[in-house]
Structure formats: C-alpha cells, structure tokens
C-alpha cells in the first residue's frame, strides 16, 4: 500500500530542508554567476519584446490585446531556449493553434512573431 504524504508531512520536510543560513549561503556562493546569467537573459527577453511591439504597432493592436501577443512571444521564446529543431517547430505549431483557438489571435500576426523569435514560420 503506497504511503501518501500529507500537507503536514510536506511542510515538516520543507522546514528541515530550507534552513535560512543554508539557503543564504548558497545564494551568496552563486550570486556572481546568477547576476551574469540574469543580465544576459533579461537583455534577450527585452530585445524580443521590443521587436514584437513594432509588429503590434504595425497592425494597430492596442490595449489588452497587446498582452496576448507579447505573452505568446514570451512563451515561444521560453520554449525556443530549451528546444530546437523539430521539437521547437511542434511547440510553436501547437502554441500558435492554442492562441488562435483560445484567445482569437490573428494567425498572420502570430506568424510574424514566430518569424521574429525563431526565424521561421509554421503552417496553421
């Protein structure tokens, strides 16, 4: 019979595992590396968003709809940084279909965003 952990059991482990001194020491040990990586990553994310804003301006997308397309670009970039090749194409294709179906996004705008983020366009 499997033993399932209750919320209390999980909290007890959390209390024992995450001692503030240990966590603080680990953060101090990797702070330089983390700051360097954060700087590189934040520049990449901001650059993509700047490019996407140009596309949205071109199509006259304003207000809350901008968030939909910037969210698509962010999610796509997240996957592109982790996957490549056919895997990346399948993720982009599925993400595009999801945004068209669930949020009523314009496929032509999504294609332009895919092209900016990845350099290629997937069919819908």
Distance CA 26, CA 70 (A): 34
Q: What is the pLDDT of residues 71-80, one digit of tens each?
A: 999 999 999 8
Report for 11-15, 93-97, 116-120: range of highest mean pLDDT: 93-97
Q: Residue 97: which pLDDT band, with cuts at 50, 70 and 90?
A: very high
pTM: 0.73
DSSP state of 35: H
Domain 7-118 indexed as CATH 3.40.140.10: no
Distance CA 89, CA 29 (A): 38
Domain boundaries, the chain: 7-118
Residues contacting residue 56 through CB under 8 Å, at least 6 positions apart: 66, 69, 70, 109
**Between 16 and 62, the higher pLDDT residue:** 62
Distance CA 84, CA 34 (A): 24
Taking all residues of the chain, what is their mean pLDDT, rounded to a whole number? 88
Residue 109, both tokens: 């705008």
């Amino acid at each position: 019979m499997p033993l399932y952990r209750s919320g209390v059991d999980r909290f007890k482990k959390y209390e024992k595992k995450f001692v503030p001194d240990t966590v603080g020491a680990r953060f101090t040990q990797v702070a330089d590396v983390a700051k360097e990586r954060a700087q590189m990553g934040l520049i990449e994310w901001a650059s993509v968003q700047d490019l996407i804003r140009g596309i949205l301006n071109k199509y006259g997308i304003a207000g809350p709809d901008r968030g939909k397309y910037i969210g698509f670009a962010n999610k796509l970039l997240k996957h592109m940084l982790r996957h490549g090749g056919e895997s990346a194409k399948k993720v982009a294709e599925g993400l595009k279909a999801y945004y068209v179906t669930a949020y009523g996004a314009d496929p032509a705008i999504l294609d332009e965003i895919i092209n900016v983020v990845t350099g290629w366009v997937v069919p819908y």
